[in-house]
């Protein structure tokens, strides 16, 4: 309906009524389950909060509109969820778990670096990744003037031709996983985000979504 500042102006101007009575006192409290709030005589209804887990496939972007007219993750959702926004991003060539919501506070808390919610990625790398490289990632490196660091690493498999590595990150800087390997002259051929906080991708197929339940939402918030 309005930003908080604009809402305060509505109240001071006498445009807001609770149960039919004008309210001009800032900070007045209501019970949203029982009280009726109106602005200029029109009843206001609280929006239903939606929390979605999506397995983003390769070949789509996380923007609502793309200047190259590429498919977006929003094309995968029902039209009635046109108010949700992605919580963070995955690049065009990456896949895996991403959340979408219309709860701005939830999105902010999950993306703000201060909270450092952990995310796990599975990277398939062209060439051999060595234990020394993974140690370097855990210690932190500087790349393009920015410090990159993995909180944990695990070698899943490796040969001279190909390595599969699991990494756990806390901040999720732009293209951080790819840049870690680029610093060692290695190229990531496949990148999948498998976990955010305690929520795992599980059996969710590429392009499919599900809603988070109340316990999962509480778990994510309690991690912060």
Query: Any idea which residues carry the catalytic annotation?
Result: 91
Helix boundaries (H) for 93-213: 104-111, 131-139, 176-182
Q: What is the rounded CA–CA span in Å between residue 105 and residue 220?
A: 12
Structure-token pair, residue 23: 């309210």
Q: Provide the 3-class DSSP secondary structure of residue 76.
A: helix
Task: Label residues 124-139 b or e (16+ Cβ within 10 Å = b).
Answer: ebebebeeebbebbee
Identify the DSSP state of 25. Answer: -
Identify the DSSP state of 185. Answer: T
Cα Dmax for the chain: 75
- Counted residue by residue, the chain has a size of 224
Helix boundaries (H) for 161-212: 176-182
């Amino acid at each position: 309906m309005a930003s908080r500042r604009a809402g305060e102006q509505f109240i001071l101007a006498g445009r807001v009524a609770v149960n039919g009575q004008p309210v001009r006192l800032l900070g007045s409290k209501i019970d949203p389950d029982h009280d009726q709030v109106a602005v200029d005589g029109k009843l206001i209804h609280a929006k239903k909060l939606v929390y979605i887990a999506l397995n983003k496939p390769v070949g789509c972007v996380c923007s609502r509109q793309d200047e190259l007219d590429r498919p977006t993750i929003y094309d995968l959702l029902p039209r009635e969820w046109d108010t949700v926004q992605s919580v963070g991003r995955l690049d065009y060539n990456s896949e895996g778990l991403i959340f979408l919501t219309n709860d701005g506070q939830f999105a902010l808390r999950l993306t703000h670096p201060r909270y450092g919610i952990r995310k796990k990625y599975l990277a398939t790398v062209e060439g051999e990744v060595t234990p020394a490289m993974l140690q370097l990632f855990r210690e932190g490196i500087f790349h393009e003037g920015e410090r990159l660091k993995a909180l944990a690493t695990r070698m899943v498999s490796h040969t001279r031709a190909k390595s599969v590595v699991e990494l756990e990150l806390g901040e999720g800087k732009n293209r951080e996983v790819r840049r870690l390997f680029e610093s060692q002259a290695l190229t990531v051929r496949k990148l999948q985000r498998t976990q955010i906080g305690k929520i795992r991708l599980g059996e969710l197929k590429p392009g499919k979504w599900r809603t988070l339940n109340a316990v999962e939402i509480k778990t994510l918030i309690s991690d912060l």
